[in-house]
């Protein structure tokens, strides 16, 4: 996920999965299981096809508006690589039919707004967060930038140069570069392999006409969702949304056709040199997609192996006095047509070879793992750690934490309305609590028990 503005802390990252806890309960039979008594929510679809979710959250005087468009790097090919990302920049910064980019910037600042956008594999996000008193501005501003964009060649050419700077910045970022390469290799032959920022040559040669054609096709109400979370009265906000967005017109684009992602053929092990002092390693495998029932077990397994308190992969690589790695963070990214689990490790470069071997061997053996005391025989149960219970508690904590962030909630709801297929069976946390030790071994066997790992290492440049 690439963020366009200057505050990286509010990006939707791997934590996006945690706040589905809310979305699942909210879009089914809404049960505000841990929201305060003041909150209320409503979802509906406007006549023009725009999917809307409203949630009152009165803890702070803010209103957060997030729009998601069913358009991502998955919708590109070699000739259009990077167009979604360029379009997202233009929408955010380059003006509309009635206001210039500078005027939009001035208005955003005048209202004390946080204003940002992101391009992902599946979705483009556009969000704004304002004081509650400026909710009318937030709704109108998002409508105008999303549905009344004006693209000129001059403005586009200016933005292209900024995007090329963004690309160079990524090339100096060890984990950013590694993640980009992971997706290229893990999803080779599939649309998820397309780089989010795009191909610099395509970007350089891009014309306003070509970009506008893409814009006209996808930025239509039936292809979008809108979530509003914050300090407002539900009925009043519904009236405002209907009034502001009700007159937008547009036909839905033809439904995309994507096959599920296929696993890579064999191991990929690449090393890239950079001017760094430490080694940065990303190990990845494919994982369940956004709608898979296996997602819950994979969430828990990711927590057990690489995220929670004393994760097992970290312990396995740092046994006794031997210390192969310094930090580990594991993330599960679920997309509409596939998923990926990525382990991010920092380590001393001299330990790189051994770490890769031992980490992959450990992950492959996770299908034989004991995750609860009940998995152990006899007296050993007394001394065994309950990793499953711990991970479930961790996920519960993370889910609750995500409830505190209005913008985060708005973005997750907007995403959910685009990606979700079918009716959820129970809330996210209920599904997490249903996961058993045997479920972890099953998903470990299916996804980690393979031989097709992708490993990308960023290593210090040889002198």
Partner 1 sequence: MTGQKTWGVISLWSLALMVGASGLGLGAQKRVLENGLTVILERDESSANTILQILIKGGKRADTPAKRGLAFLTTRLLIEIPDSGKAQQLISLATRASANAADDYSLVQIECLSANLEPSLKVLSKIFLDPLFSGIRVDAVKKYMEHQSRVEEDDSVRLGHLAGLRAFFAGSGYGGSMYGDRASLEAVKNKDVSAFYKSHFVGSNIILSIASDLPENALLDIVGRYFSAIPSGSSVALARVAPSGPEEKTIQLDRDTKQVFVGLAYRLPGISGRNFALASLFESLLGKGQGSRLWSLRAKMKLAYNVNCRATQMQEGGLLEAYLETDTAKREAAREALRSVLVDLYQNGTTEEELLYAKNAVKTDFIRESETKAGKAGILAFFEASGLGFEFFGSLFSEIDALTLDEVNSYIREILAAEKALEVVIGPAPES
Q: Among 269, 254, 291, which residue's Cα sits nearest to residue 421?
A: 291
Closest of 452, 456, 438, 296 to residue 363, by C-alpha: 452
**Would you say 100 or 425 has its CB closer to partner 1?**
100
Residue at token pair 């980690």: 448
The helix (run of H) or strand (run of E) holding residue 13 is none
Sign of CA dihedral 367, 373, 375, 376: positive
Interatomic CA distance for residues 328 and 346, integer angstroms = 7
Residues numbered 139-198 forming contacts with partner 1, rule: CB under 8 A: 158, 161-166, 168-169, 171-176
- Least CB distance to partner 1 at residue 310 (A): 6
Q: Which is nearer to partner 1, 130 or 283 (CB)?
A: 130
In 251-322 the beta strands, taken as DSSP E runs, fall at: 268-274, 279-287
Round to the nearest angstrom and report the end-to-end CA distance of the chain: 33
Q: Shortest gap between Cβ of 354 and partner 1 (angstroms)?
A: 17
Q: How many residues does the chain have?
A: 463
In angstroms, give the least distance from the CB of 101 to partner 1: 7
**How far, in Å, are 267, 310, 416 from residue 56 at the CA level?**
48, 37, 18
Question: Alpha carbon of 140 to those of 107, 146, 242: distances in Å?
Answer: 12, 10, 12
CB of 266 to partner 1, least distance (A): 29
Nearer Cβ to partner 1 (248/411): 411
Q: Which two tokens stand for residue 335?
A: 């997309």
Task: Give the whole-angstrom CA distance, residue 113 versus residue 125.
Answer: 16
Tell whether residue 354 is a contact of partner 1 (CB under 8 A). Answer: no
Long-range contacts from 113-117, C-beta under 8 angstroms, 24+ separation: 113/137, 113/138, 113/141, 114/5, 114/7, 114/10, 114/407, 115/5, 116/3, 116/4, 116/5, 116/7, 116/10, 116/92, 117/3, 117/4, 117/5, 117/88, 117/89, 117/91, 117/92
Binding to partner 1 (CB under 8 A) within 412-451 occurs at: none
Give me the 383-412 binding string for partner 1, x by CB under 8 A, dash otherwise: --xxx-xxxxxx-xx--xx-xxxxx-----
The count of residues interacting with partner 1 (CB under 8 A) is 79
- Kindly tell me which of 11 and 446 has the beta carbon lying closer to partner 1: 11
Q: Does 461 bind partner 1 (CB under 8 A)?
A: yes
Q: Least CB distance from residue 370 to partner 1, whole Å?
A: 14
In the complex with partner 1, the residue whose CB is nearer, 107 or 238, is 107
CB of 463 to partner 1, least distance (A): 11
Q: Closer to partner 1 by CB, 184 or 346: give it.
A: 346
320 binds partner 1 (CB under 8 A): no
Q: Which of residues 33-92 bind partner 1 (CB under 8 A)?
A: 34, 36, 57, 59-62
Of the two residues 253 and 349, which places its CB atom closer to partner 1 in the complex? 349
Please report whether residue 309 would count as binding partner 1 according to CB under 8 A.
Answer: yes
Q: Whole-number minimum distance, CB 108 to partner 1, in Å?
A: 5
Q: Cβ(120)–Cβ(3) under 8 Å? A: no
Cβ proximity to partner 1: between 89 and 143 the closer is 89
Tokens of residue 56, six digits: 């009152």
Query: x/- binding map, residues 105-124, to partner 1, per CB under 8 A?
Result: xx-xxxxxxxx---------
Select from 326, 358, 433, 452 the one that contacts partner 1 (CB under 8 A).
Answer: 326
The stretch among 144-152, 289-297, 307-315, 413-421 that binds partner 1 (CB under 8 A) is: 307-315
Point out which span in 119-127, 207-215, 216-224, 270-278 binds partner 1 (CB under 8 A): 270-278
Ramachandran angles phi, psi of 288, nearest 5°: -60, 150
Would you state the structure tokens that stand for residue 239, as one six-digit string?
């009236």
Which residues between 188 and 247 bind partner 1 (CB under 8 A)? none
């Amino acid at each position: 996920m690439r963020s366009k503005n200057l505050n990286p802390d509010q990006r939707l990252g791997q934590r996006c999965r945690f706040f589905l806890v809310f979305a699942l309960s909210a879009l089914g039979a809404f049960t505000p299981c841990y929201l305060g008594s003041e909150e209320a929510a409503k979802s509906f679809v406007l006549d023009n096809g725009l999917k809307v979710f409203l949630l009152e959250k009165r803890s702070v005087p803010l209103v957060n508006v997030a729009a998601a468009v069913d358009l991502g790097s998955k919708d590109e090919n070699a000739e259009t690589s990077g167009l979604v990302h360029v379009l997202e920049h233009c929408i955010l910064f380059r003006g509309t039919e009635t206001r210039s980019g500078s005027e939009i910037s001035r208005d955003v600042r005048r209202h004390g707004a946080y204003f940002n956008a992101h391009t992902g594999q599946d979705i483009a996000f556009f969000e704004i967060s304002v004081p509650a008193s400026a909710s009318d501005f937030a709704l109108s501003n998002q409508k105008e930038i999303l549905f009344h964009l004006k693209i000129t060649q001059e403005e586009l050419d200016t933005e292209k140069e900024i995007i090329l700077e963004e690309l160079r910045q990524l090339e100096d970022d060890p984990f950013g570069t590694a993640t980009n390469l992971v997706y290229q290799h893990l999803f080779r032959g599939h649309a998820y392999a397309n780089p989010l920022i795009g191909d610099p040559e395509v970007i350089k040669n891009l014309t306003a006409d070509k970009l506008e054609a893409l814009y006209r096709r996808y930025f239509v109400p039936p292809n979008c969702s809108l979530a509003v979370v914050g300090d407002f009265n539900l009925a009043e906000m519904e009236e405002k949304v209907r009034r502001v967005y009700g007159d937008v017109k547009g036909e839905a684009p033809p439904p995309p056709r994507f096959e599920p992602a296929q696993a890579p053929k064999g191991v990929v092990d690449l090393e890239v040199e950079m001017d760094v002092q430490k080694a940065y390693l990303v190990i990845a495998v494919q994982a369940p997609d956004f709608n898979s029932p296996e997602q819950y077990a994979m969430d828990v397994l990711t927590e057990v192996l690489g995220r929670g308190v004393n994760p097992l992969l970290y312990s396995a690589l740092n046994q006794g006095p031997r210390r192969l790695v310094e930090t580990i963070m594991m993330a599960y990214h679920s997309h509409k047509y596939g998923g990926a689990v990525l382990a991010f490790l920092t380590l001393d470069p001299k330990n790189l070879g051994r770490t890769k071997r031992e980490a992959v061997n450990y992950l492959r053996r996770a299908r034989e793992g004991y995750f609860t005391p009940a998995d152990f025989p006899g007296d050993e149960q007394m001394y065994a750690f309950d990793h499953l219970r711990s991970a479930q508690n961790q996920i519960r904590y993370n889910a609750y934490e995500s409830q505190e962030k209005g913008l985060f909630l708005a973005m997750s709801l907007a995403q959910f309305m685009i990606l979700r297929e079918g009716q959820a069976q129970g809330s996210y946390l209920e599904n997490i609590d249903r996961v058993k030790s045997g479920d972890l071994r099953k998903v470990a066997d299916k996804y980690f028990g393979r031989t097709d790992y992708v490993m990308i290492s960023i290593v210090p440049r040889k002198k």
